[in-house]
Amino acid sequence: MIYGMYRSATGVMTSTHRMNTIANNLANSSTVGFKRDLAATMERRTAAAERGLGPTASNAMLERIGGGTLLMPTRFDNSTGGMEKTPNPLDLAIDGNGFFAVRQNGQTRLTRNGQFQMNQEGKLVTVDGNPVLDVELKPIQLDPRIVPSVDTTGAIVQGGSVVARLAVKQVDDTNSLHKEGMTLFSHPAVAGLMQLGNGKAPGRVLSNSLEQANVDPTLELTQLMAAQRELEANANMIKTQDAMLGRLVTEVGKIS
Amino acid sequence: MATMALNSAATAMTAISTKIDVIANNLANAETTAFKSSRVNFEELYYQKLRQPGTTTGAGEISPNGEFVGLGVKVTNTQLNLEQGPLEQTGKPLDVAITGAGFFQVKTLPTVGNGLAYTRNGNMQVNVNRELVIGAGDGYRFDPSITVPSDINPEDISISQDGNIVATQANGTVTNLGQLKIFTFINPQGLNLLGGSLYQATEASGPSQENLPGENGAGQIQQSMLEASNVDPTKELVMLIKAQRAFELNSQSIQTADQTMQTVTNLRRG
């Protein structure tokens, strides 16, 4: 009996987690380069099976019931967001499966957020001031006196000649990316990634464009409603089981 | 509990209301001479790691992914849109516009910055000391200052594309009054906004660089023209609608989180 109550509680907990994730997706529906998180759940095996104990007579029946629900590892949806035109030539977006490389606190990070600026020293930086990296993963130094432009291959042109080439790293397995916040991702082996366009996958850099968040409000709100109802259903199961326990304790075995 | 959802939605509503404020200011200045619109940039906050990737599960396997929940959104910065505004013909000889990058330098109060500010508003007037001043703010003088001798009618002034100010009087006398300079910045988006069409140099913008008009990519001067605001009202209104809807969506997250907490609170029978 109490076993069932704990499983209903795991349902409440996973539904809460899904709501938290959806709320974050909705909060970032205007964040450039944001990728929505997927909050998936999976069936939990019974505690006995998880510990690797063999079937015994006492748990054979319980095992058929299952052990409730667990969170799946968080994944994100890597589909491309809508492109928005901007007047700024250093607003860049990637058409294809690539990521810009930036340096944050000595770490190389990947991002789809191409809101770049040239700072007072002529370095190309993100809106947070982190340096943007070239194909060799070095910071990009530009001539501060000339307005730069970026072509579709990611080459930065100043005064008619190519002065640097942006790193646009092709990531085939997006499950190896981890979100670090600030629309930055970490990857275990950034240096080993191929430049986009060198492999089979086509891709190009779009100037005067920004990639919007790939959050679909209809989908998120529907999932939010579903998560809320699931939570209520599980909460009602807890109440029902509590009521039954209450009757068991107070009425069964009553001496009249 | 659902407090994370509550907080995420609250950060979003705060950030979006900043965006609405900025859009409202852009729209309010749709008719302001030489106004440059701003946009608000957003970024995610940090992720709470519920489980690190690479931990060992009960069955002895190493999990390839962890569990993360994002904690909302924040405003990174506001960014100036320095796109050229359209030029409007005014017919007044003391109206000038800059076509291209750059600013005029004017003297402000010594308490404001180092006493210098920058503007693209070329609505010039002659003050009581016969000096050229800009029509914005408190009538700040140009730096280097330009004096119009008292015998010259401001209507007789002509200004060439390279900024040379020449007065041709009715009797045929030609007087050279000086040349307008244009000041550029390495990172003009790092300028500090003083209001009144004035900008101030900062560490981020770098020091101003003096140019003759047309030199080093600095803009040229167009006489009898004023640069209109570069606000595109259609685009701003679309952004306003999007911001309002995003605000409403996040209020739904708050409602759901609130109802959820209520459901859980009512679990215990009385």
- Residue A218: is its pLDDT beyond 80? yes
- Supply the pLDDT for residue B223: 93
Percent pLDDT > 90 in chain B is 48
B190: which DSSP letter? G
- Supply the pLDDT for residue A175: 84
Task: Summarize pLDDT for B113-143 with one digit per residue, the tens.
Answer: 678 999 999 989 888 888 889 876 677 888 8
Cβ(A76)–Cβ(A176) below 8 Å: no
Which among A26, A120, A179 has the least Cβ separation from residue B47?
Answer: A179
- Supply the pLDDT for residue A104: 92
Greatest mean pLDDT among A84-88, A99-103, B201-205: A99-103
Average pLDDT over residues A149-165: 91
- Residue A53: is its pLDDT beyond 60? yes
- Residue B66: is its pLDDT beyond 80? no
Alpha carbon of A211: minimum distance to chain B alpha carbons (Å): 13
Residue B205 near chain A (CB below 8 Å): yes
Interface test with A, best of B38, B40, B62, B76 (most A CBs within 10 A): B76
- Supply the pLDDT for residue A27: 93
Number of A to B CB contacts under 8 A, please give it.
205
Identity at A101, one-letter amino acid code: A
Instruction: Find chain A residues with C-beta within 8 A of B67's C-beta.
Output: 17, 71, 73-74
- Residue A60: is its pLDDT beyond 80? no
- Residue A1: is its pLDDT beyond 60? no
Question: Residue A146: which of A175, A182, A122 has the closest Cα?
Answer: A122
Interface test with B, best of A18, A30, A222, A229 (most B CBs within 10 A): A30
- Supply the pLDDT for residue A59: 58
Q: Which of residues 152-191 of B touch A (CB under 8 A)?
A: 186-187, 189-190
Which of A230-234, A252-256, B167-171 has the lowest average pLDDT? A252-256
- Whether residue A27 and residue B243 make contact (CB cut-off 8 A), yes or no, is no
pTM: 0.80
Average pLDDT over residues B41-46: 90
Per-residue pLDDT band at A57 (split at 50, 70, 90): low
Question: Residue A34: which of A215, A219, A224 has the closest Cα?
Answer: A215
The continuous run of DSSP H or E covering A75 comes out as strand A75-76
Average pLDDT over residues B102-116: 84
Greatest mean pLDDT among A64-68, B29-33, B128-132, B143-147: B29-33
- Supply the pLDDT for residue B215: 84
Exposed / middle / buried, residue B114 (Cβ in 10 Å: 0-12, 13-18, 19+): exposed
